[in-house]
Amino acid sequence: MWLSVSYQPVSLFSLKRSDATSMAARSNLVPTPYAIKMALLKVLLESQGHLHRNDFDTWISHQFTWIRDLQVYIQPPERLVVNRNGYKLRYYDQTADKADKSRPTVPMQDGFVFREWVHLEGNLQICSGLTQHSQELERLFAQINYFGKRGCFFQYLPHATVQTEQPQWQPNPNQSFTVQPMDDLGDKSTFSKINPFSTQKAQLDKDRIIKPGFLPLELRGSSARYDFYQRI
């Protein structure tokens, strides 16, 4: 079955693009499949991980596999406004030797950072499948309260959840005017590769892949401080 869920944004949204740097970061317009799957894994571990202390490796391997293999389609809200902001701040010198015990403090330096925040007007819809775990997937989606940057809150709408035999929508390049890089899990990725506490490292284009995604959004207005998109 295919499962379609909806969320109402309750705060500004921000999710750095995969090609962003720490000092200059443009935001994705909507959550990517990778971000959505990471949110599913987060609530799965928080709600059920403590029940599998004795068989954790076997359990998480099975759970990670079916979440990894989900096909995820995103339907953006009706209108989006991207706000561009610049901040001047002081931060620790990344080139300093923090292990030098003779240094009284780690030196600070001035810097300028660029960030984008997205105001979403309307509901964000996510369609995922094809899976035999529809009921468990629905329970996990119901527990998610933010996507992207921590604090970018979304309210799950239980009345808008639908199970169908076919996806309710799919990306259509012929009717899409906006391209966004969409990162996703590779088909051979494992939990140990994306686990931050593991010594194994994820490899780009193998464990985490980036493909162009087509969004049915049209740029209706733009200036030095904002972009305004409307869904087609």
* pLDDT, tens only, 78-106: 999 999 988 887 777 666 665 666 666 66
Both tokens assigned to 15: 């999710």
The DSSP secondary-structure symbol of 101 reads: T
Residue 65 lies in a domain: yes
Residue 93 lies in a domain: no
Residue 86 lies in a domain: no
For the chain, strand residue ranges (E) read: 2-9, 71-75, 79-92, 108-121, 124-129, 154-156, 162-164, 178-185, 208-215, 217-222, 226-231
Higher pLDDT: 227 or 106? It is 227
The structure's pTM equals: 0.88
Per-residue pLDDT band for 197 (boundaries 50, 70, 90) equals: confident
Instruction: State the pLDDT at residue 90.
Output: 75
Domain residue limits at 159: 2-78+122-215
Instruction: State the pLDDT at residue 95.
Output: 65
pLDDT tens per residue, range 109-122: 777 888 899 999 99
Quote the number of domains for the chain: 1
Residue 44 pLDDT exceeds 80: yes
Interval 129-138 mean pLDDT: 92
Instruction: State the pLDDT at residue 196.
Output: 86
Per-residue pLDDT band for 38 (boundaries 50, 70, 90) equals: very high
Instruction: State the pLDDT at residue 55.
Output: 94
Beta carbons within 8 Å of 38's beta carbon, 6+ residues apart: 194
Region of poorest pLDDT, from 20-24, 37-41, 77-81, 116-120: 20-24
Both tokens assigned to 199: 């010594």
Residue 99 lies in a domain: no
Residue 204 pLDDT exceeds 90: no
Residue 116 lies in a domain: no
Residue 132 lies in a domain: yes
Residue 113 lies in a domain: no
CATH of the domain at 141: 3.30.70
Higher pLDDT: 171 or 211? It is 211
Residue 24 lies in a domain: yes
